Chains A and B, each alone.
Chain A
Amino acid sequence: MQSEKQSISRGKKILQSILDATLVPFLAIFTAVVIGGVIIKMVGGNPFEAYMGLIEGSLGSKKALSETAIWATPYIFAGLAVALGFKGGLFNIGAEGQLAVGAVFSALIGYALPQWLGYDLPAIVHIPLAVLFGMLMGGLWAGIVGALKAYTGGHEVINTIMMNYIALNTTSFLLNGIMKDPSPTNVIARTPLIAESARIPPIFDGLRVHWGFVLALLIAFLVWWVLNKTTLGFEIRTVGLNPDAAKYAGINVKRTIILTMALSGMLAGLAGSIEVTGLNYRHELGFSIGYGYDAIAIALLGKSHPLGVVLAAFLFAAMRNGATRMQFLTQLPVDLISMLQALILLFVAADAIVRYIYRIKSRGERVVLTRGWGG
């Protein structure tokens, strides 16, 4: 009797929490689409044609779906990186830099390791080596920021931004220097192509979508599982929600902060590694057009829940991918997509606006994004 009552209340509670978590993002997207439509109309376009073009371009064919999945892959990894940070009370703005670090080192292992060894590696060894090395270096890069926070109190927002500059400029230095593709015709700052044995194969013949996309979905599940089902996740969440209580409970807060930051950096590093090994087969300066910054928007829209991140990543991927088709059909500039994304983010971040428009009562506690600012 008692247990039945409890299980009912638990089921109801889970349903309620899903509703609570999805309602505002959904309405934010809806509102952004409506306002975007008005703006399209104002600049002389046809909003229905534009949105149809967007949908057609992103979901309308096998190829469109494949390309959307390709866009979604780095978005998922980087979005998870930022979301994991949020869960641990850390605002990782450095995904962009960690991603570059991951890409550089994966590329290095991808093209240089066979030369160093003097023989070819089988793919089953070479792919994991390239991916793992990039991932670990991304983790190490972010772990430095974690250690600075834990031992000196230096705020991670400042330090990740600074580390971005270091990472991006060092990458530029390397790609223009010792890591530059030596082929005589090359004038671009990019590495040589990685060995065939380091390339993640496509899932289907004739489509570019590769197994890295499947890995992204698996990692999303893994992140959810670790956060919610393991003692490590319990420690990360406790430190994120209440560091004082975490200390009282005997959790090593310093260690947990460093670990959270490193795990976050590993996920961001993976975004770069997978782009190199699965799609571009080399690292080229400027390949990441703001994945690391879009990731913040994706984590916010996904309410830092791994499933939410996957869905938000798909939305952003579809918009990016469909934009070309939309432009082709309606002659509207691709920049419109950035505006739409900004509107969505605005409504998610300032959810009071959405709650006011749709008269939704606030429920539960607010998400803690970051703490200790200046404190």
Chain B
Amino acid sequence: MTETPHTLSDEIVLEARGITKQFPGVLANDNINFDLRKGEIHALLGENGAGKSTLMNLIYGLHNPDKGEIFVNGKPAVINSPNDSIKLGIGMVHQHFMLIPVFTVAENIMLGDETVKNGMLDQKTVAAKITDLSSQYGLEVDPTSLVGQLPVGTQQRVEIVKTLYRDAKIVILDEPTAVLTPQEADDLFRIMRDLTARGVSIIFITHKLKEVLAIADRITVMRAGKTVGTVLPKNTTSEKLATMMVGREVNLVIIKKQAVPKEAMLTVKDLHVDDVRDYPAVRGVSFEVRAGEVLGIAGVQGNGQTELAEALSGLRATKKGHVTLADKDITGKTPRVITEAGLANIPEDRQRHGLVLSYSISDNMALCDYYHEPFSKHGVLQPKALDENARKLISAFDVRTPSSFVSAGKLSGGNQQKVIVARELSRSVKLVIASQPTRGLDVGSIEYIHGEIIKMRDRDVAVLLISAELDEILALSDRIAVMYRGQIVTIVDAKKATREQLGLWMAGAHVQAA
């Protein structure tokens, strides 16, 4: 990003003064001051629950502040609903898109602000205006395609065009990169730069340090409902930002001993797996993971990693090939058989697979072995044993919760993941499959979960790590396999791997014969 250090405008387009918002039990925003200048990208950085989203929801009119004032272009603004903020030229792109999949791009963009001619929707005028906006800001979207058929990155572009269509001059992006591939994220950054060059101001909410340093003009860090400070990227580092976010020093680099790999624990031979629509997703994959090592699988999302993990854990049918775990053939076996053979599975989608959100932490902590003693005897659950187990794991794995009876759905994302990690890693296992183990988590939780994974490795457990975050793969793995279009392109020693080379392989570059 050569253009990053451009001169900041002095014109303040948005200012929040002394914003305070109390939710039952939480002071979500405590006397927050924040300002946004014309044409700048102002990053709002903080862990989950720091109050970033609350502040933005107040500015966007989804909540009303208890105290404090908001100024737009120097004038005090009354924002009681998103309609008010849209009229003031504020647009927001939510983390979870507010699009209707069966509608076209044009229909989605005009939704709520429809152009009508003779009582009919005027698709042509809208499409023309969208095409206009697209070329003006370098945001290519086809107004006639169905949103549900577009890749995630393009859907996000539709959301951005939607705000511009409503003449937004201030755009709030809430965790925009959480759902994107690295390439899509780069695209987004380019778009953000184009927008600011044309006078749009952007508030960029994130918890990713690298992104902030790469794209932001100014960075405001929030912690526990307060602003910790506002800094310029050139005056700070990842470490300093992490310390500001968490309130203590954080190890961004994982300290680990040299791995001592033992016998092969998981052996996969010529595995073929189909995806949900019965198209081949994994096409002839072979590898092994040895006891005491971490094998990382790098790859852009959607290259068969999800299907691979699901097939290995018994959640998806195998079409062809063989899988053995500790000399037992587990090809096509049920999840229970594979779990009992020694698998700990940290699933990719923790709320869909990993937890029953309305169950208590106690019940979730025993989700995979509730039927065993001591958790049940003769088919009857033993609440005491369930509770004891939960309390032990809550303290051992540092789950932040008032009690073990709290339902899992009430925990933050980081603590939900800790419940899963605690449950899976506390069993005596031979193999850990960790899929996107830190997706969407804050720095503190990531540090913790990475430490636990390395601990398992050092206890001679085989670890298969699947992650879309290249940094995570590089930090934890002893060997790295790169997956592209359902096949393993190559497996390399992690010490000899470079980001650049892996990135090329992930994008489909051929491996040179050594």
Q: How far is the CB of B410 from chain A (nearest CB, A)?
A: 9
| Contact assessment for B402 and A245 in the assembled complex, using a CB-CB cutoff below 8 Å | no
Bitwise, A131-155 to B at CB < 8 A (1) or not (0) is 0000000000000000000000000
Q: Which chain B residues lie closer than 8 Å to A242 at the CB level? A: 352, 355-357
Q: Assuming the A-B contacts A234-B363, A242-B357, A250-B368, are A229 and B339 also in contact, with contact meaning beta carbons closer than 8 angstroms in the complex?
A: no
Q: Which chain B residues lie closer than 8 Å to A120 at the CB level? A: none
| Contact assessment for A247 and B368 in the assembled complex, using a CB-CB cutoff below 8 Å | no
The verdict on A61 contacting chain B, using a C-beta distance below 8 Å, is: no
| Contact assessment for A6 and B352 in the assembled complex, using a CB-CB cutoff below 8 Å | no
The verdict on A331 contacting chain B, using a C-beta distance below 8 Å, is: no
| Contact assessment for A250 and B335 in the assembled complex, using a CB-CB cutoff below 8 Å | yes
CA A264 – CA B498 in complex, angstroms? 59
The verdict on B486 contacting chain A, using a C-beta distance below 8 Å, is: no
Q: Assuming the A-B contacts A6-B404, A250-B335, are A245 and B358 also in contact, with contact meaning beta carbons closer than 8 angstroms in the complex?
A: no
| Contact assessment for B353 and A244 in the assembled complex, using a CB-CB cutoff below 8 Å | yes
The verdict on B336 contacting chain A, using a C-beta distance below 8 Å, is: yes
Q: Assuming the A-B contacts A6-B404, A234-B381, are A241 and B356 also in contact, with contact meaning beta carbons closer than 8 angstroms in the complex?
A: yes
CA A229 – CA B345 in complex, angstroms? 26
Number of A interface residues in the complex (CB < 8 A):
26
The verdict on B370 contacting chain A, using a C-beta distance below 8 Å, is: yes
Number of B interface residues in the complex (CB < 8 A):
32
Q: Which chain A residues lie closer than 8 Å to B403 at the CB level? A: 5-6, 9-10
Q: Assuming the A-B contacts A232-B379, A249-B367, are A244 and B405 also in contact, with contact meaning beta carbons closer than 8 angstroms in the complex?
A: no
CA A364 – CA B379 in complex, angstroms? 29
Which of B335, B359, B381 sits near A247, CB closer than 8 Å? B335
| Contact assessment for A238 and B356 in the assembled complex, using a CB-CB cutoff below 8 Å | yes
The verdict on A231 contacting chain B, using a C-beta distance below 8 Å, is: yes
| Contact assessment for A248 and B405 in the assembled complex, using a CB-CB cutoff below 8 Å | no
The verdict on B115 contacting chain A, using a C-beta distance below 8 Å, is: no
From 353 to 411 in chain B, residues with beta carbon under 8 angstroms from any chain A beta carbon are: 353-359, 363, 367-368, 370-371, 376, 379-381, 391, 402-405, 407, 409
From 267 to 309 in chain A, residues with beta carbon under 8 angstroms from any chain B beta carbon are: none
Q: How far is the CB of B356 from chain A (nearest CB, A)?
A: 5
Q: How far is the CB of B138 from chain A (nearest CB, A)?
A: 38
Q: Which chain A residues lie closer than 8 Å to B315 at the CB level? A: 247-248
From 245 to 273 in chain A, residues with beta carbon under 8 angstroms from any chain B beta carbon are: 245-252
- Of chain B, the residue at the smallest CB distance from A368 is B358
Q: Which chain B residues lie closer than 8 Å to A364 at the CB level? A: 358, 407
| Contact assessment for B381 and A365 in the assembled complex, using a CB-CB cutoff below 8 Å | no
| Contact assessment for A244 and B352 in the assembled complex, using a CB-CB cutoff below 8 Å | yes
From 210 to 254 in chain A, residues with beta carbon under 8 angstroms from any chain B beta carbon are: 229-234, 238, 241-242, 244-252
Q: Which chain B residues lie closer than 8 Å to A234 at the CB level? A: 363, 370, 381
What residues of chain B have their CB less than 8 Å away from a CB belonging to chain A?
A: 313, 315, 334-336, 339, 345, 347, 352-359, 363, 367-368, 370-371, 376, 379-381, 391, 402-405, 407, 409
Task: Give 16 A-B pairs besides A2-B391, A248-B315 with Cβ atoms closer than 8 angstroms.
Answer: A230-B376, A230-B381, A231-B371, A231-B379, A233-B381, A241-B359, A242-B356, A242-B357, A244-B352, A245-B355, A248-B347, A248-B353, A248-B367, A250-B334, A250-B368, A364-B407
